[in-house]
């Protein structure tokens, strides 16, 4: 009964990580006004904004996507472990 929920959490974490990575890669090659970039930014920026307030960009490098990916993995791991402990 818990296994489908664990799989859903892991899938959501994977998809969210993939969206962040695609947004980062496209930011190097596409105009910020391209429809795909605007859509991805509207999904990713609300999660990156609080991180950017705490960790500002260092020169030309913005480490907030990396921090977000690490946080996604940590939250995913915690949720899976809690579900396994309950089961």
The 10s digit of each residue's pLDDT in 26-44 is 999 999 899 999 999 999 9
Q: How confident is the model at residue 13, as a pLDDT? A: 97
Whether residue 17 has pLDDT greater than 90: yes
Residue 44 near residue 23 (C-beta atoms within 8 A) = yes
The 10s digit of each residue's pLDDT in 60-86 is 899 999 999 999 999 999 999 999 999
Domain ranges of the chain: 2-86
- For the chain, how far is it from start to end, CA to CA, in angstroms? 8
The reported pTM is 0.91
């Amino acid at each position: 009964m818990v296994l489908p929920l664990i799989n859903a959490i892991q899938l959501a974490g994977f998809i969210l990580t993939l969206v962040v990575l695609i947004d980062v890669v496209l930011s190097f090659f596409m105009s910020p006004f391209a429809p795909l970039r605007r859509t991805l930014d509207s999904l990713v920026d609300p999660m990156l904004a609080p991180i950017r307030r705490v960790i500002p960009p260092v020169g030309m490098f913005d480490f907030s996507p990396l921090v977000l990916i690490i946080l996604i993995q940590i939250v995913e791991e915690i949720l899976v472990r809690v579900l396994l402990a309950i089961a």
